[in-house]
Amino acid sequence: MSKREKCGIFGIYSPDEQIFPYLYWGMLAQNHRGHQSHGFATYNNGLEYYTELGLIPPIKEPGKESKVKQLEGKIGIANVRYTTSGGKDYQALCYDAMPILSKGESKSLVLSFNGNIVNVRELQEKVGISKDTSDTHALAALIVQTLEENGSLPEAISYLMNNIDGAYSITGILDDGTLFAFKDPNGIKPMCYGFTDGKYAFSSESTGLAINGIEWQRELRPGELLIVKDGVMSQVQAQPWKNQAFCAFEFAYFSRPDSRYNGRYVYEIRRALGAALARKHGDKIKRCEIVVCLPESAIDAAYGFHEESGLKWEMALRRHRYVSQRAFITDGVDRQSVIYRKLNILTPKIVGKNIAVVDDSIVRGDTMRGNIKRLREAGAQEIHLFITYPKIIGPCFYGIDMSTYKELIGAQLSVDELAVELDADSVNYMPVDEYVKETGLRRDQLCLGCITNKYPTAQADELARSIRKELSKGGTEKGRVYE
């Protein structure tokens, strides 16, 4: 399926080079994390920034003026965004595109944010920001207002962490050229830092560093604040390190396969998940003749599944690379039209066959339903689904666009009912404990809220319980659960 994660972020300091090319390539390597808008900000004796809607464009096209405004400066941040807070109309998308500039009476900053704030309404009221805007504006205003009260960046970030429920990895620049980056006390969202030849860089994924030739150092720790001022980096534990709760969905879907966490590349974890899935469901595999996968995030899992099961792997489902629209952007007929055009099925490879279809997850079911319909039309005899991510039964409060129970097909139907609804012969999930094992992390080091209904932050957990209670009484959800 097509799922959207809130954002990708990047920040860099260089002692002697213009940094815009690093920002550009660092974000281009992470454009999968946000298609709706992009933007850049630098410090060059003052803060400069610009944002645009859509994917990051080429720097130069033959016979055309570049759409990229190359900002000057040796300190900068950048962002790509999907909407999980604020409005979705054209004006809202333009206004909420990041980085954003926040100005106070005596302080100002630019901010790039990945995550989602659960108590956003409380925060907006506290800082006097309109409820029609995204949570990023309220976060930035809170930092500026706290800085104006005490002047200390570590104290401002500590205050933010004490008053915010949610997930956040953030890079920013103060109006004196201070570059900073920090992560929430549960470490839900990814962010690493690198260092090479005097350059410090921060990135949602390690690929943002690798494309720029910057050596990866480590992931930021939960509650950690890193500050780069005048070429020197300092570290502050702005909030005591709570139990880490890293987003489990990063391994199955969001992160690039060549990104790495906890000393392992994501593709290695996905391949291990595929192998574990094959071991778990050997009885169903006996009915299958070939294995195929839904490109592209399931390719590595399908390879591991093929290795473990011994089934022939047919690359019989091919993605039309330049059909860039995501299925979640449109509704109804348009959504189905996009889903249909994204995939090319090599009919002779599957006609009359019993097939194992490996995919990363099932959220709403729209994409899977459409793809199974096409596989049936192409002549597949039996279709058995093997899903690496456990059954999604709860919304995400932390920046993935699945924010209500009602939209989650797994929250409404049993596994057997899912198979009927999707027209599959069987649906086979990875159990939660086995998924956790293959990530290399412990259960208490992961956010598993969407597959267990147990959330790592207090307000999100309480909100989820209250919504489930209301739904059990016949109540309904109205929009995003946290708004």
Distances (CA, A) of 453 to 347, 397, 449, 482: 40, 11, 5, 15
Size of the chain in residues? 483
Report whether 210 contacts 196 (CB < 8 A). no
Cis peptide before 52, with omega less than 30 degrees from 0?
no
Phi, psi torsion values for 446, nearest 5 degrees: -125, 145
Catalytically annotated residue among 7, 192, 247, 450: 7
CA distance 30 to 253: 13
* Residue 237, both tokens: 């534990």
Phi, psi torsion values for 226, nearest 5 degrees: -115, 135
Report whether 415 contacts 386 (CB < 8 A). no
Number of H helices, E strands in the chain: 17, 24
The amino acid at 277:
L
Beta strands in 90-188 (DSSP E): 100-103, 108-117, 166-174, 179-183
Phi, psi torsion values for 187, nearest 5 degrees: 60, 40
Active site residue 447: no
Residue carrying the six token digits 């009484």: 473
- DSSP category for residue 81: E
CA distance 54 to 81: 9
| DSSP helix/strand/coil, 457 | coil
- DSSP category for residue 390: P
Distances (CA, A) of 330 to 120, 218, 334: 26, 38, 6
| DSSP helix/strand/coil, 280 | helix
Radius of gyration of the chain (CA): 22
Residue carrying the six token digits 């995204």: 134
| Residues forming the active site | 7
